[in-house]
Amino acid sequence: MKKEHVIPNFITIMAMFSGFYSIIATERGNFEFAAYAILVAFLLDGIDGKIARLMNATSDFGIQLDSLSDLVSFGIAPALLLYKWLLMPYGRLGWMAAFLFIACGALRLARFNVQTKKISSKFFIGLPIPAAAGLIASTLLFVNQLIGNAANFSISIGFVFLIYVLAFLMVSNFPYFSFKKFDYHGIKTFNLMVIFVLVIFIIGLYPEMFLFLFFILYVLSGLLLSLLKLGKVGKTLEERRI
């Protein structure tokens, strides 16, 4: 391993530690701390790849380590949190939903590793596992903000099936923006600064609501992109018939 690989891999290990801490916090019944730990892992996971690219320190070792870290932080940790928080009363249906989330997350990561150098870096194929975990963590924080204690929140069995949907989205072929190559050229610098200020303002006022809406919109964006793609294909076929 080269020296320049140490820093991004260290950040990846820290993301894994955050996921492990989330598991410990969940076992102790500290669901709020567990959710925050998952979000910290989400932040670190986004940083390590960018630093690796900036330092020209990307490697196959780093890719595999990142996937192992993701499985802990965004697979096992959120699944256990969700099971302890909401799914336990549903017995086998509940723990199978938690397992399916982990299994589909592992499949998603394996497919990503295989396709990394074969597909466009502008899009992910299937819902990224960090986003799925982020939705679970932000939902708990949002509910905790609304009712004061998320542990007292009870749900209908319909929510359990939504977890199955989330697992399906990870192994689906729906495209999701990767934000690895975001084009800033069409945006004026001043307007970009105004957007950043507004985002910081909203996060400062309603952090739980902002995070919840962000992950919800991102999850739905893959479905919207697929619909737009189908619309373009249908329009092209009609034009050819004419």
Please state the pTM of the whole predicted model.
0.86
Backbone angles phi, psi at 156, to 5 degrees: -85, 165
Ranges of beta strands (E only) in the chain are 123-125, 175-177
pLDDT tens track, the chain, 242 positions = 566 678 889 999 999 999 999 999 999 999 999 999 999 999 999 898 888 878 887 778 888 899 999 999 999 999 999 999 888 888 888 889 999 999 999 999 999 888 776 666 678 889 999 999 999 999 999 988 887 766 666 666 666 778 888 999 999 999 998 876 655 555 666 676 777 788 787 777 778 888 999 999 999 998 888 888 776 655 554 555 55
Task: Give me 144's structure tokens.
Answer: 């905790």
Buried b (16+ CB within 10 A) or exposed e, 139-167: bbbbbbeeeeebbebeeeeeebeebeebb
Task: Give me 38's structure tokens.
Answer: 């998952």
The candidate with the shortest Cα–Cα distance to 39, out of 229, 210, 234, is 210
Sign of CA dihedral 116, 119, 123, 125: negative
